Structure 1
Amino acid sequence: MTQADRKRELKAAHRSNQILDAAKTVFVDADFSAVNVEDIASASGLSRATIYQYFASKQEIYTALLLRDLDGMIGGLKRSLIETDSVKNNLFRMTTAYMNFFQDHQEYFRTLSFFYLPGRKEALPPEAAEQVRAKLDEGIATIERAISLGIERQEARPVDARAATLSLWGQWMGCAYLAATGRISLYERTSEQVYANSIDIFLDGLLID
């Protein structure tokens, strides 16, 4: 790749992120169905023609936003996995990474991921849904690897690593959505306390004394 090609790539990546940053503010403030490309163009300070150079539709912009946020979350999980460390330490770091992602991106759980919620008429197009599923699978595989290593080293009971992973993932998502909707306060707990309690209880059942 020539220096000129590299500069073009960097410029394109910068412009794409500029559009996504603007789109996020629009999607957070309005229902998906009410947003149009003109709104995103106005928020970004770019023309509609420029927007369409990078994204074919509003749906494509929305999907790119989901994938970008998921990249951040999955990246945090992957960085938390140190294969030479204990399963306890790895899962604590992963729980912290997920909690930090939630605290920094509460709009993801409140607004951007509404397609996941039950009872909605809207759904992601099949291709977009597959892209999101593939990203989520990367995160789930990272957690499963940590648990599998713990089982191999006899730090953890010989449970079904996949089942344990999905159980922990479900706890994390439940905590995030409870906090995002303000329901955790009903139980007189902060989100940090709920995450800490959930991982402690999970590890009590997983680890070998």
Structure 2
Amino acid sequence: MKKIYGLEDWVLDTNVKNNSRFVNVRIMFQYPYPDQKVLIDLKPKERLKKIGDGFKDTLKRLTDLNWFDYSELVGTKKRPTGIKAKVKYRVLSKLDKLDLIGSVWIESVEHATKIEIEDKMPDKFFCVKMTVVIEVEGLSHKKQDIEKRLVLIKAQSADDAYQKLEEQKEAFIKPYLNSDGHFVRWRIDSFDDCFETDINSIKDLNKSDGVEVYSQLKSRKNKTGTIWNGRF
């Protein structure tokens, strides 16, 4: 079941038939307008209303199936993006096949034991931006040669990424002889930023559309005064 998440975390009591088993779930609706071009000719407030009406239509169509009663809305009355409900176990397979549904998240299962998972943060890939100073033995300049370097590192958090690189500073600074016989070293001067990527494994680097490894939002002067008309 592709849309059902978290069911694998529960071991079912085989002495209880699934027809007698209930599951507490959070059901998230499919976005009503995946092709957003249908919203182009509407004013911004009209777009928001149309999207809200689309979600409300999804709620009505789902409840009209009479598969269960829901206990709580997810989102707002104007824009219900999902519901929380108690459903029969056999209803899960029906929800999985329903185009109205984006995902179903298991919160608890009757007559089942939840598998205890070690509470450990999984490693992620972080991109650390650093400034490296290039220093040549005996030479003094008013301006230093520097390098802005981006390093991809596997860590549990941004702080962990910084710490791992901090521990490598001494090894990184090891000098070498240049062609003139002077010692040269590349010294990490500062860690300037850390960006958490969406890379989950090395295999992601083989994606045909590439992967984002670093991003930094800035503002700049609009020299041409260009205003986008919202057409695409």
**TM-score scaled to structure 1, two decimals?**
0.30
Larger Rg computed on CA atoms:
2
Q: Pick the structure with more strand per residue.
A: 2
Q: Pick the structure with more helix per residue.
A: 1
